[in-house]
Structure 1
Amino acid sequence: PQGIGCYMFRIDDFDVVDATMQGNAARFINHSCEPNCYSRVINVDGRKHIVIFALRKIHRGEELTYDYKFPIEDEKSKLHCNCSTRRCRRFLN
């Protein structure tokens, strides 16, 4: 459908979670070059899970963010960052 976002999370070199059409609220966590959270993939009973951890105290109403850490690509395919933080790298990759 037109206007739908893309909500994918790379687990490893082989697996990607696609939450574009269905998933929990964590799929809407935005990127920031100065995030207040970080993500880790953990293994529980042989199943991989994405877990979001706080880097610091997060205040009520504050947006949750983490660094997407997209792979570095050539100059033409750089994705622009709009986080507006003091240390913004200007690109997601």
Structure 2
Amino acid sequence: MSPSYLACRGICLRIPLCLDATFFGNAARFINHRCCDGILVDVLVTIESPDRHYYHVAFFTSRAVKPMEELTWDYRIDFDDDTHPIEAFKCLCGSPFCRRAASSKKRKKRGRK
């Protein structure tokens, strides 16, 4: 998640937050990324905890979901962020609104890879 996205929700981070469920996690790790037109909407929910930075994320669908339909969510990755480039993430979402594709076009125009 980008710090600017979190800041608009009252959360201040100096570095991007990465939720990685490679070794531990819950069912949310099976939700795939899709730029801009994913069907899930996220809401950060605070819980009673001594650590004020401990949140749960609640997911809601933006429309009715069919059985066995893939769940997608916009991870909000900023592919133009030169400060914290995320080269390890290869966006293959196929969305007509894909930010990686748009970012690649911009970089080619500027003479960068």
Shorter chain as normaliser: what TM range? 0.5 to 0.7
More strand, by proportion: 1
**Alignment-mate amino acid for residue 24 of structure 1:** N
CA offsets 1:52-87 (integer angstroms, 9 cap, x no match) = 11111111111000100023413xx46542111233
1:19, CA displacement in angstroms?
2.2
In structure 2, list runs of 5 or more residues that go unmatched. Answer: 104-113
Report 1:26-65 matches (<5 A): 26-33=28-35, 34-46=37-49, 47-65=54-72
- More displaced stretch, 18-27 vs 44-53: 44-53
| CA distance 1:16–1:81, shift in 2 (3 Å) | closer
Offset, 1:16: 5.1
From the two aligned structures, give the one with the greater helix fraction.
2
The CA distance in 2 between the partners of 1:82 and 1:18, in whole Å, is 18
- 1:83 matched to 2:93: yes
> 2:81 matched to 1:73?
yes
Q: What is the one-letter code of the residue matched to 2:81? A: E
Q: Percent identity?
A: 35
Residue of structure 1 equivalent to 2:108? none
Aligned residues: 82
The answer for unaligned runs of 5 or more in structure 1 is 1-7
State the Cα RMSD in Å: 3.0
Q: Which structure is higher in RCO with an 8 Å CA cutoff and minimum separation 6?
A: 2
- Larger C-alpha radius of gyration, 1 or 2? 2
Distance 2:56 2:18 in 1: 12
TM-score (norm 1): 0.65
